[in-house]
Chain A
Amino acid sequence: MREGIGQWSSAFSAMPKIHTAMLSNYLTIAFRNLWKNKVYSFINIMGLALGMACSLMIMLWVQDETAMDAFHENGTRLYRVMENQYYSGKIETYPSTPGLLAENIVKDIPEIEKASQMLWEEQPLFTVGTTFDKEKGRYVQGDFLTMFSFKLEQGDARTALKRPDGVVISKKLAQKYFPNQNPLGKSIRIDGKEDVMVTGILKDIPKNSSLKFDFLMSFDRWLKNNPWAKEWGNNGPRCYVMLTKNASLDKVNAKIKGYIKTKNKDSNVEIFLQSYQESYLYSNWDSGKQNGGRIDYVRIFSIVAIVILLIACINFMNLATARSVKRAKEVGVRKVIGAVKGILIGQFMGEAILIAFCALLFSILLVFLLLPTFNLLTEKELSLNFTDPSFLVVLVSLTLITGLVAGSYPALFMSSLNPVVVLKGSLKFKPSATYFRKGLVVFQFALSITLILGMIIVHEQINYLRTKNAGYDRENLLYMPLEGDLQKNFASFKQELQHQPGIKSVTCSQSDPLEVGSSTQGVKWPGKDTTQLLLFANNAISYDYIKTMGIQLIGGRDFSDQYGTDTTNYIINEASAKKMGYKDPVGKEMTMWNRKGTIVGLMKDFHYNTLHSAIEPLILRLQPKTENWGVVIIRAEGGKTPDAIANTEKVFKKFNPNFPFKYFFADQEYANQYKSENVVNKLSNYFAFLAIFISCLGLFGLASFTAEQRTKEIGVRKVLGASVSNLVGMLSLDFIKLVLLATLIAFPVAWYFLKNWLEKYAYRIDIEWWYFAIAALSAIAIALLTVSYQAVRASLMNPVKSLKTE
Chain B
Amino acid sequence: MIKTANLQKIFTTEEVETTALNGIDLEVKDGEFVAIMGPSGCGKSTLLNILGLLDNPSEGSYDFHGTEVAKLSERQRAQLRKGNIGFVFQSFNLIDELTVYENVELPLLYLKVPADQRKEMVETVLTRMNIMHRRNHFPQQLSGGQQQRTAIARAVVAKPKLILADEPTGNLDSANGEEVMKLLSQLNDEGTSIIMVTHSPYDAGFAHRIVNLFDGKVVTEKMRV
The reply to whether A25 and B106 form a contact with Cβ atoms under 8 Å apart is yes
Q: Residues of A contacting B96 with CB < 8 Å?
A: 329
* Bound Cα distance from A163 to B203, whole angstroms: 109
Our pick among B83, B89, B91, B97 for the contact of A338 (Cβ within 8 Å) is B83
The reply to whether B106 and A337 form a contact with Cβ atoms under 8 Å apart is yes
* Bound Cα distance from A196 to B107, whole angstroms: 86
Number of interface residues of B (CB under 8 A): 32
Q: Residues of B contacting A21 with CB < 8 Å?
A: 109, 115, 118
User: 1/0 contact trace for A338-355 toward B, CB 8 Å?
Assistant: 111111000000000000
The reply to whether B93 and A33 form a contact with Cβ atoms under 8 Å apart is no
The reply to whether A420 and B55 form a contact with Cβ atoms under 8 Å apart is yes
B72 at the A interface (CB under 8 A): no
A334 at the B interface (CB under 8 A): yes
Query: Are A340 and B97 also in contact (CB < 8 A) when A28-B102, A420-B54 are?
Result: no
The reply to whether A420 and B49 form a contact with Cβ atoms under 8 Å apart is yes
Q: Residues of B contacting A596 with CB < 8 Å?
A: none
B26 at the A interface (CB under 8 A): no
Our pick among B75, B89, B98 for the contact of A340 (Cβ within 8 Å) is B75
Number of interface residues of A (CB under 8 A): 29
Grouping DSSP codes into helix (H, G, I), strand (E, B) and loop, the A interface class, with mixed when no group exceeds half, is helix
Query: Are A336 and B109 also in contact (CB < 8 A) when A28-B98, A33-B97, A36-B97 are?
Result: no
Our pick among A22, A330, A340, A341 for the contact of B95 (Cβ within 8 Å) is A330
The reply to whether B78 and A423 form a contact with Cβ atoms under 8 Å apart is no
Q: Residues of A contacting B105 with CB < 8 Å?
A: 25
The smallest C-beta distance from A450 to any residue of chain B, in angstroms, reads 38
The reply to whether B78 and A25 form a contact with Cβ atoms under 8 Å apart is no
The reply to whether A336 and B97 form a contact with Cβ atoms under 8 Å apart is no
Our pick among B89, B109, B110 for the contact of A423 (Cβ within 8 Å) is B89
Our pick among A29, A332, A338, A423 for the contact of B98 (Cβ within 8 Å) is A29
Q: Residues of A contacting B95 with CB < 8 Å?
A: 29, 329-330, 333
B221 at the A interface (CB under 8 A): no
The smallest C-beta distance from A392 to any residue of chain B, in angstroms, reads 33
The reply to whether B118 and A423 form a contact with Cβ atoms under 8 Å apart is no
A263 at the B interface (CB under 8 A): no
B81 at the A interface (CB under 8 A): yes
Our pick among A329, A340, A423 for the contact of B79 (Cβ within 8 Å) is A340
Interface residues of B in 11-65 (CB under 8 A from A): 45, 49, 52, 54-55
The smallest C-beta distance from A395 to any residue of chain B, in angstroms, reads 29
The reply to whether B78 and A339 form a contact with Cβ atoms under 8 Å apart is yes
The reply to whether B75 and A32 form a contact with Cβ atoms under 8 Å apart is no
A419 at the B interface (CB under 8 A): yes
User: 1/0 contact trace for A372-401 toward B, CB 8 Å?
Assistant: 000000000000000000000000000000
The reply to whether A419 and B98 form a contact with Cβ atoms under 8 Å apart is no
Query: Are A336 and B81 also in contact (CB < 8 A) when A25-B109, A29-B95, A29-B98 are?
Result: yes
Q: Residues of A contacting B118 with CB < 8 Å?
A: 21
The smallest C-beta distance from A505 to any residue of chain B, in angstroms, reads 81
Interface residues of B in 144-177 (CB under 8 A from A): 154
* Bound Cα distance from A340 to B112, whole angstroms: 14
* Bound Cα distance from A210 to B56, whole angstroms: 69
Given contacts A22-B109, A25-B102, 4 further A-B contacts (CB under 8 A): A25-B98, A29-B95, A29-B97, A338-B110
Which residues from chain B sit less than 8 Å from chain A, CB to CB? Answer: 45, 49, 52, 54-55, 74-75, 78-79, 81-83, 87, 89, 91, 93-98, 102, 105-107, 109-112, 115, 118, 154
Q: Kindly list the 3 A-B residue pairs having the minimum CB-CB distance in the complex, ordered from nearest.
A: A338-B82, A32-B97, A340-B78
